[in-house]
Structure 1
Amino acid sequence: MRFLTWIFVFLSGFVFGQSNSLLYQVKSKDKKVSYLFGTIHMIPDSLYYFPGKLDKIISKSDEVILEIANLSNQSSVMKLMLLDSGSCFDIFTPQQKDSVLNWGANLLGIKPDQFEKGFEKRKPFTLLQLSFQKMISGKVRMVDMEIESKAQQNKIPVSGLETVEYQLSIFDKIPPGELAGFIMETVRNPQEGEENFQKMVHYYHQQDLESLANLILESDELGSSAEELLDKRNHNWIPKMEELMKAKSCFFAVGAGHLGGSNGVIELLRKRGYEVTPVRY
């Protein structure tokens, strides 16, 4: 599985080792109830599914908590994707750079020198993001933004478990050589990344968690980044979630890849004494 697909998992995620649902009821010892939902960042409109039951749960919540709030504020995000100095293509050898420029130019239907000029001030991981966005044709739905919009329509407060600054800083910690390797793999094997992406979208739509788990576990490419991308963040979220659930009925919506496994949010909440059960919707 390509690192491009792992970016998809990181921002939108999947569950492994859990029952066949993306929605969970979280009940504390004093019987206060909140909900935990696994999201997908981007999905074709034809596969978008947001039933009335899920909408009703959100409307009855005291607060909606996403990984990052105010997702519609794209201007601040774009600034964080720019380099302070140097070029996006400094991490590549001359031969690799030529391949990347031709690949990017072909994706966008422009000349290589135009592609270089347009991306030279952006951080290298945005090259992967570009390829991912090109995999979806037609109208796209962003589940996180849909949830935020529904909360706002019901005048429900929306907050985030972390900042976009922190989330994007994780990519800055990936050694340049490793990142260059991930990008070159995508450049050389675009079809494999696209096939995996289509499988993941299909499995998410079907809530086929076992197949999602197998697809994710086929790859060890996340390597040393796994702890920073998933485990560490999961542990950081638990005390924040507990504090919020003390006084409110919350609806948490995070990338579903954060939910499962021994260091996933579901298991960490259970270890803290919460009753976490799947909900069909």
Structure 2
Amino acid sequence: MKYLLLVAGLLTSLYGNSQELEKSLLWKISGNGLQEPSYIFGTIHATCDASLDENTIKALQETKQLYLELDMDDKAMQMQMLKYMKMNNDVKLSTLLSAEDFKIVDEFLKKHMNMSAKMFDTFKPFVVSSMLLPKMLDCKFQSVESELIKVTEKQGEEIYGLEDIKDQMKVFDAIPYQVQADELLKTAKSDLKQDKEEFIKLLEIYKDKDIEGMLKAMDESENKISSENQDLLLNNRNKNWIPIISETASKIPTFFGVGAGHLAGEEGVIKLLRKEGFIVEPVQ
């Protein structure tokens, strides 16, 4: 009995729900019947430096396929994305905002994208906000996912998605369109100032490999989409991914790349995998 209590205490200290995770973007998945390890890596969707370190390259070499949030080399994805960009029930941005506020957004988009808000009138406002992501950087836009894809394609391996574009875009039907429109208006009124400050802070946290800090930054964000919808943006999706990661890793050693905010927290991918019996440890 004393031995069992000792083991239980050791497991709690190692994997306890309240323990903060180490600073690492790359995590090795083993145990639970896996013949060979898989890896999970925290990405960021826009950065000034998307270069991969030696450990990440090595993990890509040791695995035999890549899973991202979406199958980003799927040629049909762009057409599918256009289909799901629009708001349901014929809702329009021009009706969610007053005429005065719509004009503010219109002038803002003309300034930064050389396009009128009228072109995006039926789009989910968050989609429009996402298009502004490269503007948050004072450098040439780079993508970590693109670097992972380059290495994977060079190795002649397949790329898959943990979810499809329909599932991902449904998230932004669940978040009220009015909230999304209000956040886009805030961005326009500040001329990106607040958004850039938050994103630069997020980049610094990412460079420090602080996945717990990434989650905290989202929680404390001035953007209500991020701070008030973590179940929709992160937790629910994490839970949906666990069976896919588990089944896939049991068949073939796989490199999984997901947004770094998905890794940490009580309902993050790392602790959910540990609850399933996997050993998930940082590669530093």
TM-score (norm 2): 0.82
1:60 shift after superposition: 2.1
| 1:274 aligned residue | 278
Q: Which has the higher contact order (CA 8 A, sep 6+)?
A: 1
SS of residue matched to 2:156:
coil
| 2:193 aligned residue | 191
Query: Are residue 237 (structure 1) and residue 241 (structure 2) matched?
Result: yes
Matched residues in 1 for 2:99 and 2:275: separation? 51
Give the counterpart of 1:97 among 96, 99, 102. Answer: 102
Query: Measured at CA, do residues 236 and 17 of structure 1 come closer, stay the same or move farther in structure 2, by a change above 3 Å?
Result: same
Matched residues in 2 for 1:161 and 1:130: separation? 22
Matched residues in 2 for 1:97 and 1:68: separation? 32
1:265 shift after superposition: 0.5
> Is the 1:24–1:37 Cα contact (8 Å) retained in structure 2?
yes
User: Which of 233-242 and 47-56 deviates more?
Assistant: 47-56
1:110-125 to structure 2, matched below 5 A, reads 110=114, 115-125=116-126
| 2:112 aligned residue | 107
- Structure 1's unaligned 5+ residue stretches are 1-15
Give the counterpart of 1:75 among 67, 78, 88. Answer: 78
User: Which of 117-126 and 228-237 deviates more?
Assistant: 117-126
| 1:159 aligned residue | 160
> Is the 2:26–2:282 Cα contact (8 Å) retained in structure 1?
yes
1:250 shift after superposition: 1.2
SS of residue matched to 2:67:
strand
Matched residues in 2 for 1:188 and 1:150: separation? 40
> Is the 2:219–2:227 Cα contact (8 Å) retained in structure 1?
no
Say how many residue pairs are matched: 259
> Is the 1:38–1:254 Cα contact (8 Å) retained in structure 2?
yes
1:131-170 to structure 2, matched below 5 A, reads 131-170=132-171
User: Which of 236-245 and 97-106 deviates more?
Assistant: 97-106
1:71 shift after superposition: 4.4
| 1:60 aligned residue | 62
Find the structure with the greater CA-based Rg. Answer: 2
> Is the 1:87–1:122 Cα contact (8 Å) retained in structure 2?
yes
User: Which of 83-92 and 162-171 deviates more?
Assistant: 83-92
User: Which of 31-40 and 72-81 deviates more?
Assistant: 72-81
| 1:3 aligned residue | none
SS of residue matched to 2:116:
helix
Deviations 1:190-247 (A, max 9, x none): 3121111111112212324454354333237345522111111111111111111112
Matched residues in 2 for 1:227 and 1:233: separation? 8
Deviations 1:76-97 (A, max 9, x none): 2334324574543221122221
- Structure 2's unaligned 5+ residue stretches are 1-18
Query: Measured at CA, do residues 192 and 86 of structure 1 come closer, stay the same or move farther in structure 2, by a change above 3 Å?
Result: closer
> Is the 1:17–1:209 Cα contact (8 Å) retained in structure 2?
no
Matched residues in 2 for 1:101 and 1:81: separation? 18
1:119 shift after superposition: 2.4
Matched residues in 1 for 2:73 and 2:201: separation? 26
| 2:20 aligned residue | 17
Deviations 1:23-70 (A, max 9, x none): 0011123353111101111111xx333123312221221221111113
TM-score (norm 1): 0.83
User: Which of 34-43 and 135-144 deviates more?
Assistant: 135-144
